[in-house]
Homo-oligomer: A and B are copies of this chain.
Amino acid sequence: MNAPRAVVLVSGGLDSATALALAREQGFICHALSVDYGQRHHAELEAARRVARAQGAAEHRIMRVDLAGIGGSALTDSAIAVPEEPTTGIPVTYVPARNTLMLCLALGWAEVLGARDLFVGVNVLDSSGYPDCRPEFIAAFEALARLATKAGVEGAAWHVHAPLIRLTKAQIIREGVRLGVDYGPTVSCYQADAEGRACGRCDSCRLRRAGFATAGLTDPTRYQGPSGA
């Protein structure tokens, strides 16, 4: 019997690199998908390429959707600054409908591949409060997938795996290290430079750095010089 296939969303960050390693551990042949939604720069897509290769993905595709055209987020609109101090509520780095969109592209590709499993590295605990990182969102997308697709109508059960959803950042890192993930080339920073070096100050950098500290592991992140180190 052939191993089942899965589409794994790979952003180039720490979480999705771990999700990919977990999907492989579960025996899936992994097709890695990165979505270029008009991020401010491409360092994280380069990191995604390296992660997909290092984790043995069967292939890696990048799909482009121009969310920058609608703006509304610090991650796609250069007129909105990335906060460098903790904020309350849903932060301005929230990208409208981003995870819905990425899962939808994964769903379409999976249907063509004959895969029925999607993996996404969302995480509710250390997630900055994004609505589309919650378990109820994942469950709603899975329900939608059954109704939206030819495969679903024909009786296929879709599974949206979010294996990190209830883990802390430190637990995620320990899982990845157990599976041999090299986090050095991953880019989590919201405002990494062109070489993928992290600012050390944004919300994502703070969560990541604290994760390595709590896990008792050396932080392999490449930072942008002395102020961020």
Contacts and interface: CB of A to CB of B under 8 A. Distances in A.
A108 B148 contact: no
A107 interface: yes
A141 B107 CA distance: 14
A29 B170 CA distance: 48
A72 interface: yes
Interface string A76-116: 00000000000000100011111111001101110110000
Contacts of A63: 65-66, 69-70
A97 B108 contact: yes
State which size class the interface on A falls in.
35 or more
B112 A131 contact: no
Given A70-B108, A104-B101, A137 B131 contact: no
A71 B111 CA distance: 10
Contacts of A150: 90, 94, 96, 131
A108 B144 contact: no
A107 B111 contact: no
B140 A147 contact: yes
A210 interface: no
Nearest to A62: B69
Contacts of A132: 147-149
A148 B137 contact: yes
Contacts of A108: 67, 70, 72, 95-98, 100-101
Contacts of A107: 96-97, 100
A103 to B, nearest CB: 9
